[in-house]
Amino acid sequence: MTCSPTMADQYQFNANEEKIVKDSHTKEIDLINRDPKQINEDVVKVDFEDVIAEPDGTHSLDGVWKLSYTTFTVSKYWCYRILSAVFGIPIALLWGFLFACISFCHIWAVVPCIKSCLIESQCISRIYSLCIQTFCDPFFEAFGKIFSSVRVALRKEV
C-alpha cells in the first residue's frame, strides 16, 4: 500500500522550501565580531595614543591629560554611533545598490563581452596561424636550406 502525500504534507513541504529560500537571503550576522575578515583592522582603528602624545619634558597637567583622554574616547564613540544611526542605513542602501549595479554589469555585459572577444580572437588567431603556415613557413624553410651549408669558423689572432 503506497501513501500519497496529503494536501497538508504538500503545504508543509512548500513552506519548508520557502523557508530555505528565505533563509538564504537573511543570513545570520555576528554581532560580536563585526569585522571577521579584518578589512578595517589597520585603517580606522584609532585610539587616543595614536593621535595625541606628549614627549618627555612636555607634559600637561595630569587632570587635563585624563580629561582629554576621556573626552576624545567618549566623543569618538558617540559621534560614530550617532553618524551610523543617522547615515548608516541610507549609505548601506547606496552601497547595496552600487554593488548590485556592478554585479549586474559584470554578469550581463562584461563577461559576455570578454567571451565574445575571446571567440573572435580565436577566429583571428586561426586565420593568422594559417597565413603564417602558408606563406612564412616555406619562405623560412627555404632560407634555412640555402644557408644550411654555410660554416662559420671563429679564429682568434694574437
The answer on pLDDT for 137 being more than 70 is yes
Question: How many CB atoms lie under 10 A from the CB of residue 40?
Answer: 10
pLDDT value of position 9: 56
Q: Angle at Cα 48 formed by Cα 64 and Cα 41, nearest 5°? A: 170
Residue 111 has pLDDT above 90, yes or no: yes
Average pLDDT on 92-113 reads 96
Averaged pLDDT for residues 72-92:
95
Residue with cell 582629554: 68
Q: What angle do CA 19, 24, 27 make, to 5 degrees?
A: 110
What digits encode the pLDDT tens for the residues 44-53?
788 888 888 8
pLDDT the model gives residue 4? 53
Mean pLDDT to the nearest integer, 72-88: 95
Query: Does pLDDT of 20 surpass 50?
Result: no
Residue indicated by cell numbers 554593488: 99
Q: Is the dihedral of CA 54, 60, 64, 66 positive or negative?
A: positive
pLDDT value of position 33? 85
CB 72 within 8 A of CB 48: yes
pLDDT band (50, 70, 90) for residue 62: very high
